[in-house]
Every structure is written in structure tokens, then in C-alpha cells.
Amino acid sequence: MTTIHDPEVRGFASDNYSGIHPEILAAIASANEGHQVAYGEDVYTARLQEVMAQHFGEGVEAFPVFNGTGANVTGLQSMLPRWGAVVAASSAHINVDEGGAPERVAGIKILNVPSEDGKLTPELIDREAWGWGDEHRAQPLVVSITQSTELGTLYTAEEIRAIADHIHPLGMRLHLDGSRISNAAASLDLPLRAFTRDAGVDVLSLGGTKNGAMVGEAVIVLDPDASTGLTYLRKLNMQLSSKMRFVSAQLVALFEGDLWLRNARHSNAMAQRLRAGVEAGMADGSIRGVAFTQQTQANGVFATLPPGVADRLRESFRFYDWDAAKNEVRWMCSFDTTEEDIDAFVAAIARETSAS
């Protein structure tokens, strides 16, 4: 088939817009020869277990799934009884961006807590962590945090440990949505285990798609006592791939060496370059009326723009409004974002804000 899209088109809407990293494409092709047993009884899925043990320690188990929503919904469902509820930040993906899948598919009640930076604290969790034994209230039994958060901010390992130490004595478990976990590790300069298993996380949704994979995430059970039934829930939730070797081969290619870290470091660096370029323009007066609304700690930049500027910029570079009422936008960088992409975008921002 001939290429029918313009490969020169670039944007800052989502790290899902990027293509597949060439090393991952090569891994898929390599896994394509011959026959392998279906539904996860293949050598690539077995190798994935070994790779995850290298990152998170012995005794963990990886369940490859198709996407992040599937990982979150299936992982959380395995942690909860039918009457259980999840405490999460109001901005969390499971609360606002999964089409009601936790509620509709898993029957999970989300107890959401407002947070200006997208992060939970023990004090914020306590706003909803109550009512155990009350048959009129969904029982808060899991806390779900996101790393990096939907607002591009990061938890330190100590902050995650503080949450785990606070909720575990209450009989609650800790889930981490790690769709951009690689970006967090790159920014924190920590191994994955340091702010997950070692910090008290019980179940992890491991992201790959936003960091160069074609399709595929995984539920990683870090504490076997925190999860049950994943073998059956994955099928029940339509997340069991018959040709699982191709999902697993991608995650092996990403995490076996340092590709996950290289990709994440690059996308983080591009976000820093974008912010620095805009800040330089604000300082010299070539960029006007722009303000940042969050720290830039991973691969996302959040800012407000003068009225009308976002729509004019989107004629050349696609990106999303985050809060249209505040003229707040989100700019995401990817593993394949180039310095030239950033510089062209900064120049466009200067041009459009000067004209507003």
C-alpha cells in the first residue's frame, strides 16, 4: 500500500499521534516468522515475564493487554470486590477520559478528589477514605495515582511511599496508572522499581503506546495478594490477545534494553526545549500573553494563550484545549519530536501572539 498521509505533518496534540519506533517495528517483524502458541503461551510473553522481573523484582507477573484503558479497568477490577470504590484525582484518566469504562465495564465507583496539580496526598485521600462498614456507601478500597499525572506533574518516590504507608493500614491498596511511567522515570532519574514496588505500589498499568509502541500495555501485579482473577478478567474484558506474541514482543523490545529510557528522555527534553523557547520569547517580548499553568516535569506543557491564538496556531500544528474556558492548552512531545519541530512551533507562537 502506498503512503496516503503527509509524513511531514507534525503536531503537539498527543504522544499517541507519533508513529512506531523503528526498533519496535523490527521486533514485530522478527516475531512474525513461523508459529507460536496463541493466547500468551508463546516465548515472547515468557520473555516479558523475565524482563519485568529485571525491572521490578522476582515474583511479579505481567499481563499484556491492548491499551491503557484495558490495563486500568482490568487491573482495578482485579483489586476490588463488587462493592469496592477507587479514590482518584478528579483529573485522573480513569475519571475523565475513559468513557465511563471503569463504571460500565468493571462496575467500579470512582471517588474523585480535586487536585490543582493532579497529585493526591494522604490528606486529599482522606476526603473520600471513610465509611467502611456503611452499607450505603461504596467501600473505598483502592487509591489510584497517575505517574506522570494528567497535568504533567510527577510524584517523588517519597510521596508515593507516604501514600502507601497511609492507606495500607486502612486496608486499602495502591494502583498506579503508568501510561507515561517511562517519562517519569527519566525525569526522576530513578529505576522503575524505586517509585513503584519499593514505594508500596501494589498493581501497575505499564504504558508502551505513548513511548514508541504500536499497541500494547500490561498490567503488572507487584503484590500477588492485591490482585485476583486477572487470568479470567482479561478475557472477560476483551483484552486477551490471541496473537499475544506481537504485543509482548513490543514490550520486550521497549524494556529489555534502554529504548524506553532513551525515548522518554528525548520527549522530556523536547518539552523542556519548548517551554524554554516560549519563556525566552516572553522575556524578550516576542511572545505575549502566554502563561504556564503547571510545572513541566515530563513531556507535556500546559499554558494559557490569548483569545483566538490557539485556533490560529492549530491551522499549522494540532494540539488540544485543556480548559477552553480559561484558554488553557496542552502541548505534548513525543519520542520522534525534533528540535526543528519545536523551533518552528515556538516561532509560530511568537507570530500569532504578536498579532493578537
CATH number at residue 291: 3.90.1150.10
| pLDDT value of residue 1 | 83
Q: How far apart are CA 248 and CA 245, in angstroms?
A: 5
Tell me how many helices (H) and strands (E) the chain has: 13, 11
Q: What is the pLDDT of residue 2?
A: 86
Same domain for 196 and 88: yes
Backbone angles phi, psi at 98, to 5 degrees: -120, 25
For residues 113 and 149, membership in a common domain is answered with yes
197 and 283 co-located in one domain: no
pLDDT for position 35: 97
Q: Does residue 72 sit in helix, strand or coil?
A: helix
In this structure, the answer to whether residues 87 and 175 fall within a common structural domain is: yes
Could you give the percent of the chain with pLDDT greater than 70? 100
Confidence of residue 239 (pLDDT cuts 50, 70, 90): very high
Q: What is the number of structural domains in the chain?
A: 2
Residue range of the domain that includes 322? 260-355
Mean pLDDT, range 122-141, rounded to an integer: 98
In one-letter notation, the amino acid at residue 30 is S
**For the chain, what percent of residues have pLDDT higher than 90?**
97
Contact predicate 251/32, CB 8 Å: no
Do both 190 and 251 map to the same domain?
A: yes
Check pLDDT > 70 for residue 60.
Answer: yes
> Is the confidence at residue 356, as pLDDT, over 70?
no
120 three-state secondary structure: coil
Rounded to the nearest integer, the mean pLDDT of the chain is 97
Query: For residue 13, which of 352, 320, 345, 245 has the smallest C-alpha distance?
Result: 320
Long-range contacts of 317-322 (CB under 8 A, 24+ apart): 317/10, 317/11, 317/12, 317/345, 317/348, 318/11, 318/12, 318/13, 318/17, 319/11, 319/12, 319/13, 320/13, 320/14
pLDDT of res. 8: 83
The answer to whether 356 and 289 have CB atoms below 8 angstroms apart is yes
- Asked whether residue 289 carries a pLDDT value surpassing 80, the answer given is yes
Per-residue confidence (pLDDT) for residue 10, from 0 to 100: 86
DSSP string, 169-191: GGT-EEEEEETTHHHHHHHHT--
Taking the model in full, what pTM does it have? Answer: 0.97
Is-contact 211 335, C-beta < 8 A? yes
Q: Mapping DSSP to helix (H, G, I), strand (E, B) and coil, where does residue 112 land?
A: strand
Cα atoms found within 13 Å of the Cα of residue 314, Cβ hemisphere only? 13
If asked whether residues 142 and 279 sit together in one domain, one would say no
Domain co-membership, 130 together with 247: yes
Answer yes or no: is 298 within a domain. yes
213 with 308, same domain? no
pLDDT of residue 6: 86
